[in-house]
Chains A and B, each alone.
Chain A
Protein backbone atom coordinates (compact mmCIF):
# COMPACT_ATOMS: atom_id res chain seq x y z
CA UNK A 1 0.00 0.00 0.00
CA UNK A 2 2.69 2.43 0.99
CA UNK A 3 4.58 4.06 -1.84
CA UNK A 4 7.26 1.67 -2.93
CA UNK A 5 9.05 1.55 -6.22
CA UNK A 6 7.57 2.75 -9.49
CA UNK A 7 6.43 -0.73 -10.38
CA UNK A 8 4.43 -1.36 -7.27
CA UNK A 9 2.68 1.99 -7.52
CA UNK A 10 1.67 1.29 -11.10
CA UNK A 11 0.62 -2.20 -10.17
CA UNK A 12 -1.39 -0.85 -7.25
CA UNK A 13 -3.26 1.60 -9.42
CA UNK A 14 -3.90 -0.89 -12.19
CA UNK A 15 -5.00 -3.50 -9.74
CA UNK A 16 -7.49 -1.12 -8.21
CA UNK A 17 -8.90 -0.18 -11.58
CA UNK A 18 -9.44 -3.74 -12.75
CA UNK A 19 -12.90 -5.23 -12.45
CA UNK A 20 -13.54 -8.75 -11.33
CA UNK A 21 -14.30 -10.21 -14.75
CA UNK A 22 -15.98 -13.46 -15.53
CA UNK A 23 -16.13 -14.37 -19.19
CA UNK A 24 -15.28 -16.60 -22.09
CA UNK A 25 -11.55 -16.58 -22.54
CA UNK A 26 -10.38 -17.88 -25.92
CA UNK A 27 -8.04 -20.33 -24.20
CA UNK A 28 -9.41 -20.91 -20.72
CA UNK A 29 -13.11 -21.00 -21.61
CA UNK A 30 -15.62 -19.55 -19.13
CA UNK A 31 -13.59 -18.45 -16.16
CA UNK A 32 -12.56 -15.57 -13.95
CA UNK A 33 -9.89 -13.37 -15.47
CA UNK A 34 -6.63 -13.54 -13.57
CA UNK A 35 -5.17 -10.39 -15.07
CA UNK A 36 -6.11 -7.28 -17.00
CA UNK A 37 -4.81 -8.86 -20.16
CA UNK A 38 -7.00 -11.90 -19.75
CA UNK A 39 -9.99 -9.72 -19.12
CA UNK A 40 -9.18 -7.76 -22.23
CA UNK A 41 -8.92 -10.92 -24.30
CA UNK A 42 -12.38 -12.01 -23.25
CA UNK A 43 -13.87 -9.28 -25.39
CA UNK A 44 -17.60 -8.67 -25.17
CA UNK A 45 -18.61 -12.01 -23.71
CA UNK A 46 -17.60 -11.19 -20.19
CA UNK A 47 -19.29 -9.71 -17.22
CA UNK A 48 -17.97 -7.61 -14.35
CA UNK A 49 -19.13 -9.46 -11.30
CA UNK A 50 -18.18 -6.66 -8.93
CA UNK A 51 -20.01 -3.99 -10.92
CA UNK A 52 -23.12 -6.11 -11.24
CA UNK A 53 -22.99 -7.30 -7.66
CA UNK A 54 -22.54 -3.89 -6.08
CA UNK A 55 -24.99 -2.12 -8.36
CA UNK A 56 -27.68 -4.73 -7.77
CA UNK A 57 -26.95 -4.59 -4.06
CA UNK A 58 -27.39 -0.81 -4.10
CA UNK A 59 -30.51 -1.10 -6.25
CA UNK A 60 -31.90 -3.66 -3.85
CA UNK A 61 -31.06 -1.39 -0.93
CA UNK A 62 -32.91 1.42 -2.66
CA UNK A 63 -35.94 -0.77 -3.37
CA UNK A 64 -35.96 -2.26 0.13
CA UNK A 65 -35.62 1.10 1.85
CA UNK A 66 -38.21 2.89 -0.23
CA UNK A 67 -40.58 -0.07 -0.27
CA UNK A 68 -40.40 -0.14 3.51
CA UNK A 69 -41.13 3.56 3.69
CA UNK A 70 -43.96 3.09 1.21
CA UNK A 71 -45.49 0.33 3.31
CA UNK A 72 -45.23 2.41 6.46
CA UNK A 73 -46.36 5.58 4.74
CA UNK A 74 -49.15 7.23 6.65
CA UNK A 75 -50.96 10.42 5.91
CA UNK A 76 -50.52 11.37 9.53
CA UNK A 77 -47.35 12.39 11.29
CA UNK A 78 -44.41 10.71 9.48
CA UNK A 79 -41.53 8.97 11.19
CA UNK A 80 -37.86 9.70 10.62
CA UNK A 81 -37.38 7.21 7.79
CA UNK A 82 -40.56 8.34 6.12
CA UNK A 83 -39.48 11.95 6.47
CA UNK A 84 -36.17 11.34 4.75
CA UNK A 85 -37.68 9.22 2.00
CA UNK A 86 -40.47 11.71 1.45
CA UNK A 87 -37.97 14.52 1.20
CA UNK A 88 -36.16 12.66 -1.57
CA UNK A 89 -39.40 11.76 -3.32
CA UNK A 90 -40.66 15.30 -3.12
CA UNK A 91 -37.36 16.66 -4.39
CA UNK A 92 -37.46 14.32 -7.38
CA UNK A 93 -41.13 15.05 -7.98
CA UNK A 94 -40.50 18.79 -8.05
CA UNK A 95 -37.54 18.35 -10.35
CA UNK A 96 -39.60 16.23 -12.72
CA UNK A 97 -42.47 18.72 -12.59
CA UNK A 98 -40.06 21.47 -13.57
CA UNK A 99 -38.39 19.59 -16.41
CA UNK A 100 -41.14 17.36 -17.75
CA UNK A 101 -44.26 19.00 -19.12
CA UNK A 102 -46.24 16.03 -20.39
CA UNK A 103 -48.22 13.51 -18.42
CA UNK A 104 -46.49 10.20 -17.99
CA UNK A 105 -46.65 8.12 -14.81
CA UNK A 106 -43.36 6.44 -15.69
CA UNK A 107 -41.14 9.50 -15.60
CA UNK A 108 -41.20 10.37 -11.91
CA UNK A 109 -40.49 6.84 -10.60
CA UNK A 110 -37.84 6.51 -13.29
CA UNK A 111 -36.18 9.68 -12.12
CA UNK A 112 -36.40 8.55 -8.50
CA UNK A 113 -34.79 5.22 -9.33
CA UNK A 114 -32.02 6.87 -11.31
CA UNK A 115 -31.31 9.48 -8.69
CA UNK A 116 -31.25 7.26 -5.64
CA UNK A 117 -29.58 4.34 -7.34
CA UNK A 118 -26.79 6.42 -8.84
CA UNK A 119 -26.40 8.27 -5.56
CA UNK A 120 -26.03 5.04 -3.61
CA UNK A 121 -23.59 3.62 -6.16
CA UNK A 122 -21.54 6.79 -6.04
CA UNK A 123 -21.68 6.74 -2.26
CA UNK A 124 -19.63 3.54 -2.24
CA UNK A 125 -16.75 5.73 -3.29
CA UNK A 126 -16.54 7.29 0.15
CA UNK A 127 -15.57 3.94 1.62
CA UNK A 128 -11.75 4.00 1.81
CA UNK A 129 -10.35 2.50 -1.39
CA UNK A 130 -8.56 -0.41 0.23
CA UNK A 131 -11.08 -1.73 2.73
CA UNK A 132 -13.27 -3.85 0.54
CA UNK A 133 -10.65 -4.99 -2.03
CA UNK A 134 -8.40 -6.04 0.82
CA UNK A 135 -11.23 -7.97 2.44
CA UNK A 136 -12.03 -9.76 -0.80
CA UNK A 137 -8.34 -10.43 -1.42
CA UNK A 138 -8.20 -12.17 1.94
CA UNK A 139 -11.16 -14.25 0.82
CA UNK A 140 -9.31 -15.20 -2.34
CA UNK A 141 -10.94 -12.84 -4.81
CA UNK A 142 -8.20 -11.11 -6.76
CA UNK A 143 -10.02 -8.07 -8.06
CA UNK A 144 -12.71 -5.87 -6.61
CA UNK A 145 -13.56 -2.52 -8.11
CA UNK A 146 -16.25 -1.49 -5.79
CA UNK A 147 -17.89 1.60 -7.27
CA UNK A 148 -20.15 0.58 -10.17
CA UNK A 149 -20.30 4.10 -11.60
CA UNK A 150 -16.55 4.03 -12.25
CA UNK A 151 -17.26 1.26 -14.74
CA UNK A 152 -18.43 2.66 -18.10
CA UNK A 153 -20.50 -0.48 -18.58
CA UNK A 154 -22.70 0.50 -15.67
CA UNK A 155 -23.16 4.14 -16.61
CA UNK A 156 -23.60 3.41 -20.32
CA UNK A 157 -25.93 0.57 -19.42
CA UNK A 158 -28.24 2.95 -17.59
CA UNK A 159 -27.85 5.49 -20.38
CA UNK A 160 -28.82 2.75 -22.82
CA UNK A 161 -31.96 2.13 -20.79
CA UNK A 162 -32.80 5.82 -20.96
CA UNK A 163 -31.99 5.83 -24.70
CA UNK A 164 -34.38 2.95 -25.34
CA UNK A 165 -37.09 4.84 -23.47
CA UNK A 166 -36.36 7.96 -25.57
CA UNK A 167 -36.79 5.93 -28.76
CA UNK A 168 -39.89 4.19 -27.40
CA UNK A 169 -41.65 7.39 -26.38
CA UNK A 170 -40.59 9.21 -29.54
CA UNK A 171 -42.22 6.49 -31.59
CA UNK A 172 -45.22 6.24 -29.30
CA UNK A 173 -45.96 9.96 -29.10
CA UNK A 174 -44.99 11.07 -32.59
CA UNK A 175 -45.56 7.85 -34.49
CA UNK A 176 -43.02 6.31 -36.82
CA UNK A 177 -43.74 8.91 -39.48
CA UNK A 178 -43.56 11.80 -37.08
CA UNK A 179 -40.30 10.64 -35.60
CA UNK A 180 -38.79 10.06 -39.05
CA UNK A 181 -39.96 13.49 -40.12
CA UNK A 182 -38.40 15.05 -37.04
CA UNK A 183 -35.13 13.31 -37.76
CA UNK A 184 -35.04 14.20 -41.43
CA UNK A 185 -36.62 17.65 -41.61
CA UNK A 186 -35.03 19.45 -38.66
CA UNK A 187 -33.19 21.71 -38.36
CA UNK A 188 -33.44 22.51 -42.11
CA UNK A 189 -36.90 22.05 -43.50
CA UNK A 190 -35.98 21.27 -47.10
CA UNK A 191 -36.01 17.91 -48.86
CA UNK A 192 -32.60 18.51 -50.39
CA UNK A 193 -31.06 18.69 -46.95
CA UNK A 194 -32.61 15.46 -45.68
CA UNK A 195 -29.32 13.49 -45.63
CA UNK A 196 -27.60 16.30 -43.80
CA UNK A 197 -30.43 16.61 -41.32
CA UNK A 198 -30.50 12.89 -40.80
CA UNK A 199 -26.80 12.80 -40.05
CA UNK A 200 -27.08 15.72 -37.65
CA UNK A 201 -30.13 14.43 -35.82
CA UNK A 202 -28.92 10.86 -35.49
CA UNK A 203 -25.62 12.05 -34.10
CA UNK A 204 -27.55 14.33 -31.75
CA UNK A 205 -29.72 11.41 -30.69
CA UNK A 206 -26.79 9.10 -30.08
CA UNK A 207 -24.83 11.73 -28.22
CA UNK A 208 -27.55 11.93 -25.59
CA UNK A 209 -26.98 8.50 -23.97
CA UNK A 210 -23.28 8.61 -24.70
CA UNK A 211 -22.98 11.96 -22.98
CA UNK A 212 -25.10 10.79 -20.06
CA UNK A 213 -23.06 7.68 -19.47
CA UNK A 214 -19.63 9.13 -20.10
CA UNK A 215 -20.21 12.22 -17.98
CA UNK A 216 -21.06 10.17 -14.93
CA UNK A 217 -18.31 7.66 -15.65
CA UNK A 218 -15.72 10.37 -16.25
CA UNK A 219 -16.46 12.20 -13.03
CA UNK A 220 -16.56 9.12 -10.89
CA UNK A 221 -13.54 7.52 -12.50
CA UNK A 222 -11.45 10.64 -12.13
CA UNK A 223 -12.43 10.95 -8.50
CA UNK A 224 -11.61 7.32 -7.88
CA UNK A 225 -8.19 7.67 -9.47
CA UNK A 226 -7.43 10.62 -7.26
CA UNK A 227 -8.50 8.62 -4.21
CA UNK A 228 -6.19 5.80 -5.28
CA UNK A 229 -3.32 8.23 -5.83
CA UNK A 230 -3.90 9.77 -2.41
CA UNK A 231 -3.82 6.26 -0.97
CA UNK A 232 -0.26 5.94 -2.28
CA UNK A 233 0.93 8.65 0.09
CA UNK A 234 2.45 7.77 3.45
CA UNK A 235 -0.38 6.91 5.81
CA UNK A 236 0.27 9.77 8.24
CA UNK A 237 -0.18 12.48 5.61
CA UNK A 238 -3.04 10.91 3.64
CA UNK A 239 -5.81 12.58 5.56
CA UNK A 240 -4.69 16.08 4.56
CA UNK A 241 -5.73 15.36 0.97
CA UNK A 242 -8.14 12.54 1.53
CA UNK A 243 -10.49 14.39 3.83
CA UNK A 244 -10.99 17.51 1.67
CA UNK A 245 -11.34 15.36 -1.44
CA UNK A 246 -13.92 13.15 0.25
CA UNK A 247 -15.86 16.15 1.50
CA UNK A 248 -15.76 17.65 -1.97
CA UNK A 249 -16.97 14.34 -3.32
CA UNK A 250 -20.08 14.37 -1.17
CA UNK A 251 -21.08 17.26 -3.40
CA UNK A 252 -19.89 15.61 -6.62
CA UNK A 253 -21.70 12.39 -5.85
CA UNK A 254 -25.01 14.12 -5.33
CA UNK A 255 -24.50 16.50 -8.20
CA UNK A 256 -23.65 13.78 -10.70
CA UNK A 257 -26.64 11.70 -9.65
CA UNK A 258 -28.79 14.80 -10.01
CA UNK A 259 -27.36 15.73 -13.42
CA UNK A 260 -27.88 12.24 -14.79
CA UNK A 261 -31.47 12.26 -13.54
CA UNK A 262 -32.38 15.72 -14.77
CA UNK A 263 -30.83 15.21 -18.18
CA UNK A 264 -32.67 11.92 -18.57
CA UNK A 265 -35.93 13.66 -17.74
CA UNK A 266 -35.14 16.51 -20.11
CA UNK A 267 -34.35 14.10 -22.93
CA UNK A 268 -37.54 12.18 -22.28
CA UNK A 269 -39.45 15.43 -22.24
CA UNK A 270 -38.00 16.28 -25.65
CA UNK A 271 -39.08 12.83 -26.84
CA UNK A 272 -42.67 13.69 -25.83
CA UNK A 273 -42.81 17.07 -27.49
CA UNK A 274 -43.93 17.79 -31.01
CA UNK A 275 -41.98 20.26 -33.03
Chain B
Protein backbone atom coordinates (compact mmCIF):
# COMPACT_ATOMS: atom_id res chain seq x y z
CA UNK B 1 0.00 0.00 0.00
CA UNK B 2 2.80 2.34 -0.85
CA UNK B 3 2.22 5.35 -2.98
CA UNK B 4 4.51 4.96 -5.94
CA UNK B 5 4.72 5.35 -9.69
CA UNK B 6 1.58 3.31 -10.08
CA UNK B 7 -0.20 6.58 -9.31
CA UNK B 8 1.30 8.25 -12.37
CA UNK B 9 0.83 5.15 -14.46
CA UNK B 10 -2.81 4.97 -13.51
CA UNK B 11 -3.31 8.65 -14.37
CA UNK B 12 -1.75 8.10 -17.79
CA UNK B 13 -3.91 5.03 -18.40
CA UNK B 14 -6.93 7.01 -17.30
CA UNK B 15 -6.10 9.84 -19.69
CA UNK B 16 -5.65 7.42 -22.59
CA UNK B 17 -8.92 5.64 -21.91
CA UNK B 18 -10.81 8.90 -21.60
CA UNK B 19 -9.26 10.17 -24.82
CA UNK B 20 -10.14 6.98 -26.62
CA UNK B 21 -13.67 7.10 -25.25
CA UNK B 22 -14.13 10.71 -26.36
CA UNK B 23 -12.73 9.97 -29.79
CA UNK B 24 -14.06 6.55 -30.71
CA UNK B 25 -16.61 5.24 -28.24
CA UNK B 26 -18.94 8.02 -27.27
CA UNK B 27 -19.80 9.60 -30.64
CA UNK B 28 -21.17 6.55 -32.50
CA UNK B 29 -23.25 5.30 -29.58
CA UNK B 30 -24.55 8.73 -28.67
CA UNK B 31 -25.31 9.54 -32.29
CA UNK B 32 -27.15 6.29 -32.80
CA UNK B 33 -29.14 6.91 -29.64
CA UNK B 34 -30.16 10.40 -30.60
CA UNK B 35 -30.91 9.48 -34.15
CA UNK B 36 -33.12 6.65 -33.00
CA UNK B 37 -34.86 9.00 -30.60
CA UNK B 38 -35.48 11.40 -33.46
CA UNK B 39 -36.67 8.57 -35.65
CA UNK B 40 -39.10 7.35 -33.03
CA UNK B 41 -40.36 10.86 -32.43
CA UNK B 42 -40.83 11.34 -36.17
CA UNK B 43 -42.59 8.01 -36.39
CA UNK B 44 -44.97 8.89 -33.58
CA UNK B 45 -45.57 12.25 -35.22
CA UNK B 46 -46.31 10.62 -38.53
CA UNK B 47 -48.65 8.13 -36.87
CA UNK B 48 -50.66 10.84 -35.16
CA UNK B 49 -50.74 12.84 -38.36
CA UNK B 50 -51.91 9.79 -40.25
CA UNK B 51 -54.68 9.11 -37.76
CA UNK B 52 -55.74 12.72 -38.03
CA UNK B 53 -55.74 12.42 -41.82
CA UNK B 54 -57.76 9.25 -41.55
CA UNK B 55 -60.32 10.97 -39.36
CA UNK B 56 -60.53 13.82 -41.83
CA UNK B 57 -60.92 11.43 -44.73
CA UNK B 58 -63.62 9.50 -42.93
CA UNK B 59 -65.45 12.70 -42.21
CA UNK B 60 -65.15 13.71 -45.81
CA UNK B 61 -66.36 10.35 -46.98
CA UNK B 62 -69.36 10.55 -44.67
CA UNK B 63 -70.08 14.04 -45.92
CA UNK B 64 -69.87 12.93 -49.54
CA UNK B 65 -72.10 9.96 -48.85
CA UNK B 66 -74.69 12.16 -47.18
CA UNK B 67 -74.60 14.61 -50.07
CA UNK B 68 -74.97 11.91 -52.67
CA UNK B 69 -77.84 10.38 -50.76
CA UNK B 70 -79.54 13.74 -50.67
CA UNK B 71 -78.90 14.21 -54.35
CA UNK B 72 -80.30 10.80 -55.09
CA UNK B 73 -83.50 11.58 -53.19
CA UNK B 74 -83.76 14.89 -54.97
CA UNK B 75 -83.30 13.24 -58.33
CA UNK B 76 -85.84 10.59 -57.43
CA UNK B 77 -88.31 13.21 -56.32
CA UNK B 78 -87.79 15.19 -59.45
CA UNK B 79 -88.26 12.11 -61.55
CA UNK B 80 -91.44 11.24 -59.70
CA UNK B 81 -92.72 14.74 -60.12
CA UNK B 82 -91.80 14.73 -63.77
CA UNK B 83 -93.51 11.42 -64.25
CA UNK B 84 -96.71 12.55 -62.63
CA UNK B 85 -96.48 15.77 -64.55
CA UNK B 86 -96.10 13.83 -67.76
CA UNK B 87 -99.06 11.66 -66.88
CA UNK B 88 -101.05 14.73 -66.09
CA UNK B 89 -100.03 16.35 -69.35
CA UNK B 90 -100.88 13.24 -71.28
CA UNK B 91 -104.26 13.05 -69.60
CA UNK B 92 -104.88 16.70 -70.35
CA UNK B 93 -103.87 16.21 -73.94
CA UNK B 94 -106.06 13.19 -74.25
CA UNK B 95 -108.98 15.06 -72.83
CA UNK B 96 -108.35 18.02 -75.07
CA UNK B 97 -108.09 15.71 -78.05
CA UNK B 98 -111.31 14.02 -77.07
CA UNK B 99 -113.07 17.33 -76.72
CA UNK B 100 -111.72 18.47 -80.05
CA UNK B 101 -112.90 15.28 -81.67
CA UNK B 102 -116.30 15.67 -80.09
CA UNK B 103 -116.49 19.29 -81.16
CA UNK B 104 -115.49 18.54 -84.74
CA UNK B 105 -117.94 15.68 -84.89
CA UNK B 106 -120.60 17.94 -83.55
CA UNK B 107 -119.85 20.68 -86.05
CA UNK B 108 -119.81 18.16 -88.85
CA UNK B 109 -123.15 16.95 -87.71
CA UNK B 110 -124.38 20.49 -87.63
CA UNK B 111 -123.07 21.11 -91.12
CA UNK B 112 -124.71 17.96 -92.27
CA UNK B 113 -127.94 19.10 -90.70
CA UNK B 114 -127.63 22.48 -92.36
CA UNK B 115 -126.87 20.92 -95.67
CA UNK B 116 -129.83 18.59 -95.31
CA UNK B 117 -132.01 21.49 -94.31
CA UNK B 118 -130.84 23.51 -97.30
CA UNK B 119 -131.44 20.64 -99.62
CA UNK B 120 -134.76 20.05 -98.04
CA UNK B 121 -135.55 23.70 -98.41
CA UNK B 122 -134.63 23.67 -102.09
CA UNK B 123 -136.60 20.53 -102.66
CA UNK B 124 -139.55 21.90 -100.72
CA UNK B 125 -139.46 25.09 -102.71
CA UNK B 126 -139.29 23.22 -105.95
CA UNK B 127 -141.97 20.87 -104.66
CA UNK B 128 -144.01 23.88 -103.69
CA UNK B 129 -143.44 25.27 -107.13
CA UNK B 130 -144.49 22.06 -108.71
CA UNK B 131 -147.51 21.95 -106.40
CA UNK B 132 -148.40 25.52 -107.13
CA UNK B 133 -148.02 24.89 -110.90
CA UNK B 134 -150.31 21.99 -110.58
CA UNK B 135 -152.75 23.99 -108.50
CA UNK B 136 -152.76 26.99 -110.71
CA UNK B 137 -152.45 24.99 -113.88
CA UNK B 138 -151.18 27.98 -115.20
CA UNK B 139 -147.71 28.67 -116.08
CA UNK B 140 -145.98 30.65 -113.63
CA UNK B 141 -143.18 32.60 -114.74
CA UNK B 142 -140.43 30.98 -112.92
CA UNK B 143 -138.21 33.90 -113.37
CA UNK B 144 -140.80 36.32 -112.06
CA UNK B 145 -141.50 34.36 -108.95
CA UNK B 146 -138.13 33.02 -108.28
CA UNK B 147 -137.27 35.75 -105.83
CA UNK B 148 -140.44 35.29 -103.94
CA UNK B 149 -139.89 31.56 -103.82
CA UNK B 150 -136.32 31.89 -102.56
CA UNK B 151 -137.58 34.17 -99.83
CA UNK B 152 -140.09 31.57 -98.98
CA UNK B 153 -137.52 28.81 -98.94
CA UNK B 154 -135.27 30.86 -96.62
CA UNK B 155 -138.12 31.22 -94.25
CA UNK B 156 -138.61 27.47 -94.04
- Chain A residues proximal to chain B, CB less than 8 Å: 17, 19, 21, 23, 39-40, 42-48, 51-52, 55-56, 59, 62-63, 66-67, 69-71, 73-76, 78, 82, 85-86, 89-90, 93, 105-106, 108-110, 112-113, 117, 148, 151-154, 156-158, 160-161, 164
A46 with B5: in contact, given A52-B10, A63-B20 (CB under 8 Å)? yes
A109's partner among B2, B11, B21 (CB-CB below 8 A) is B21
Contact B9 A157 (CB under 8 A): yes
Total B residues in contact with A, Cβ cutoff 8 Å: 33
Residue of A nearest to B22 (CB): A109
Contact B13 A152 (CB under 8 A): no
Residues of A within 8 A of B26 (CB): 70, 89, 108-109, 112
Residues of B within 8 A of A117 (CB): 14, 17
Instruction: Report Cα–Cα, A51/B9, bound state, in Å.
Output: 10
List the count of A-B residue pairs having beta carbons below 8 Å apart.
141
The smallest C-beta distance from B126 to any residue of chain A, in angstroms, reads 128
Contact A55 B4 (CB under 8 A): no
A105 with B4: in contact, given A55-B13, A153-B10, A158-B11 (CB under 8 Å)? no
Residue of A nearest to B28 (CB): A70
Instruction: Report Cα–Cα, A44/B15, bound state, in Å.
Output: 21
B36 in the interface (beta carbon within 8 A):
yes
The smallest C-beta distance from A132 to any residue of chain B, in angstroms, reads 18
Q: In B9-59, which residues have CB < 8 Å from any A CB? A: 9-11, 13-18, 20-22, 24-33, 35-36, 39
Instruction: Report Cα–Cα, A52/B12, bound state, in Å.
Output: 11
19 more CB-based (< 8 A) A-B contacts, given A113-B21, A157-B14, A161-B11: A46-B4, A52-B9, A59-B17, A66-B21, A67-B25, A70-B24, A70-B25, A70-B27, A71-B28, A74-B32, A82-B32, A85-B29, A86-B29, A86-B33, A106-B18, A109-B22, A117-B17, A151-B1, A156-B10
Residues of A within 8 A of B17 (CB): 59, 62-63, 113, 117
Contact B2 A39 (CB under 8 A): yes
Contact A63 B1 (CB under 8 A): no
Instruction: Report Cα–Cα, A236/B30, bound state, in Å.
Output: 48
A47 with B5: in contact, given A63-B17, A69-B29 (CB under 8 Å)? yes
Residue of B nearest to A157 (CB): B10
Contact B7 A157 (CB under 8 A): yes
Instruction: Report Cα–Cα, A78/B5, bound state, in Å.
Output: 42
Contact A44 B20 (CB under 8 A): no
Contact B4 A45 (CB under 8 A): yes
- Chain B residues proximal to chain A, CB less than 8 Å: 1-11, 13-18, 20-22, 24-33, 35-36, 39
| Binding site secondary structure of chain A | helix
Q: List 13 A-B contacts (CB under 8 A).
A: A43-B4, A51-B10, A52-B6, A70-B25, A70-B28, A73-B33, A75-B39, A86-B32, A105-B22, A106-B22, A108-B26, A117-B14, A157-B8
Instruction: Report Cα–Cα, A188/B89, bound state, in Å.
Output: 113
Contact A63 B21 (CB under 8 A): yes
Residue of A nearest to B26 (CB): A109
Residue of A nearest to B27 (CB): A70
Residues of A within 8 A of B25 (CB): 63, 66-67, 70, 109, 112
Residue of B nearest to A18 (CB): B1
Residues of A within 8 A of B10 (CB): 51-52, 55, 148, 153-154, 156-158
Instruction: Report Cα–Cα, A75/B28, bound state, in Å.
Output: 10
Instruction: Report Cα–Cα, A62/B3, bound state, in Å.
Output: 26
Most chain-A Cβ atoms within 10 A of its Cβ — which of B24, B33, B35? B33
The smallest C-beta distance from B29 to any residue of chain A, in angstroms, reads 5
Instruction: Report Cα–Cα, A48/B18, bound state, in Å.
Output: 21
Residues of A within 8 A of B29 (CB): 66, 69-70, 73, 85-86, 89
